[in-house]
Amino acid sequence: MRYEGREALIVGLGQSGQAAARFLATRGASIAITDASSEAQIAPALAEIEDLRPTLYLGGHPDEAFEQCDLIVPSPGVAWNMPQLEAARAHGVPVMGELELAAPELRGRVIGITGSNGKTTTTALAGHILSEAGFKTVVAGNIGTPVLSIVDDSEEEQRTVLELSSFQLEAMRTFRCHVAACLNVTPDHLDRHGKFDCYAAAKRRIFDAQRPEDAAVLNADDPTCRAWGAVVSSRVRWFSRRRAAEPGVWAAEGLIYRDGVPVSDCNLPIPGAHNLENALAATAVCSLAGATDAHIERGLHSFQAVEHRLELVRRLHEVDYYNDSKATNVDAALKAIESFERGLWIILGGRDKNSDYTVLAEPLAGRVREALLVGEAAEKIRAQLAGRTPLRDCGTLDEAVQFARKHAAPGDTVLLSPACASFDQFQSYGHRGREFKRLVEELT
């Protein structure tokens, strides 16, 4: 599609929206922006694109904004079935996500990674391994760098590793991943997608534009991923923490195997069984992208944990404090809980995403001293776990940290793994995690 002379409307001015505005403006489009926030609330973002001289529709999404354009680019956080977008489609106005804009112009081999949990760590780990292997490697997507901001500098020989969320994939039609991986599919974002089948369908789109010579990396231990192995059009490579998975990568007797050949031991610098799964997926992805077993082993052992993902913040008076703020759903919190044996003080709560917290009761039994409840979801969590898990209402993160400091004994662990979104009290999971770290660093 040619963009010169088009009237493009960007819906939502986050990082992706800013990148889309600049991408289209440099290709000759006129830019309009609509955002539900006020001018004061998004002043820093507006300053970033001031030179583009966009038309602004702020404080809501007026119909006028959508009537004046002939191309609409919604940011990933904007619901794909937003009424104004549905009306635009009905009138023949193209509605394109950021991946579709990037599809014709992004050069090099593209590795896409999705999943309900683990995708940020796996994306960062795969990028690290491929850099160790000597490839020009760019890591982008949901991990923080918008896809459209890397297009112009992309090269044919580079490896681009993209973390892709269900929000991004929902809008994907023609974007091709030469290697596409799905780590797991468990209920998440049901407040956006409505039901699990719709959420899973969005995840599955990562494979839709692949060709027979491309590769799909799937978790043999996940029932949804396992079912997809029979229907994707590309070559399937498996990974498994529980069994030999050929062709693919698996763990057995303390070693990581690729097609039966040992690649590395399982004594990795990132803790937890879930991180072993991430390492298995990264091993499969990177071998398909051209890394040797030696490069993979070196990368696995030199990688450092990603911020907000089971990140050790501090040891104080023989108590460890872990920041797992990225655990914004129940399954992610479950994996974090299973990384510890006993003496656990877990901080749960935030904004509910239509989640079922009862599944946490069994893994918490025998491990947790008390679950410290915060935020909007505290009442629902209490209702679902009462009588099965020791609970304490703390209200705020500050109060929970102070309570844990006062009562945790040497050898205990204080874990922020909320199982909820952050938007009740914080701007993002990153904001929540940084605040937790600040509170912990100030303890005496």
Domains of the chain as residue ranges with CATH: 7-96 (3.40.50.720), 100-302 (3.40.1190.10), 311-441 (3.90.190.20)
pLDDT higher than threshold 80 for residue 188: no
Find the helix or strand (DSSP H, E) in which 432 lies: helix 429-441
Residue 416 CA to residue 345 CA, distance in Å, equals 9
pLDDT higher than threshold 70 for residue 91: yes
Q: What is the pLDDT of residue 341?
A: 86
Token representation of residue 41: 């609330």
Residue 100: pLDDT band by 50, 70, 90 thresholds?
A: very high
Phi/psi region, residue 272 (left: phi>0; alpha: psi -120 to 50; beta: rest), is left
Taking CA atoms, 224 is separated from 186, 246, 263, in Å, by 9, 18, 27
pTM (two decimals): 0.80
Based on the residue annotation, tell me whether 142 is a catalytic residue of this protein: yes
Residue 92: pLDDT band by 50, 70, 90 thresholds?
A: very high
Cβ atoms 157, 314 nearer than 8 A: no
Average pLDDT over residues 396-414: 97
Choosing from 61, 128, 178, 189, which is the catalytic residue? 189
Cβ atoms 330, 356 nearer than 8 A: yes
pLDDT higher than threshold 70 for residue 439: yes
**Percent of the chain that is helix, strand, coil (3-state, to 5):** 35, 25, 40
Average pLDDT over residues 39-44: 91
Q: What is the pLDDT of residue 305?
A: 79
Residue 300 CA to residue 296 CA, distance in Å, equals 6
Could you report the per-residue pLDDT of 136-186, keeping only the tens digit for each? 999 999 888 999 999 999 999 999 999 999 999 999 999 999 999 999 998
Average pLDDT over residues 219-243: 96
Q: What is the pLDDT of residue 192?
A: 67
Choosing from 117, 142, 323, 329, which is the catalytic residue? 142
Based on the residue annotation, tell me whether 136 is a catalytic residue of this protein: no
Buried (b) or exposed (e) across 132-164, using 16+ Cβ within 10 A? Answer: bbebebbbbbbbebbbbbbbeebeeebbbbbbb
Q: What is the pLDDT of residue 117?
A: 87
pLDDT higher than threshold 90 for residue 212: yes
Peptide bond into 187 cis (omega under 30): no
Who contacts 234 (Cβ-Cβ below 8 Å, separation ≥6)? Answer: 180, 207, 210, 211, 212, 213, 214, 215, 216
Q: What is the pLDDT of residue 190?
A: 63
pLDDT higher than threshold 90 for residue 310: no
* Percentage of the chain modeled with pLDDT above 90: 87
Question: What average pLDDT does the chain have?
Answer: 95
H helices, E strands: number in the chain: 17, 19
Average pLDDT over residues 420-435: 95
Average pLDDT over residues 405-409: 97
Based on the residue annotation, tell me whether 219 is a catalytic residue of this protein: no
In single-letter form, the type of residue at position 146 comes to P
Could you report the per-residue pLDDT of 327-368, keeping only the tens digit for each? 999 989 998 998 898 999 999 999 999 999 999 999 999 899
Strand partners, 249: 239, 258
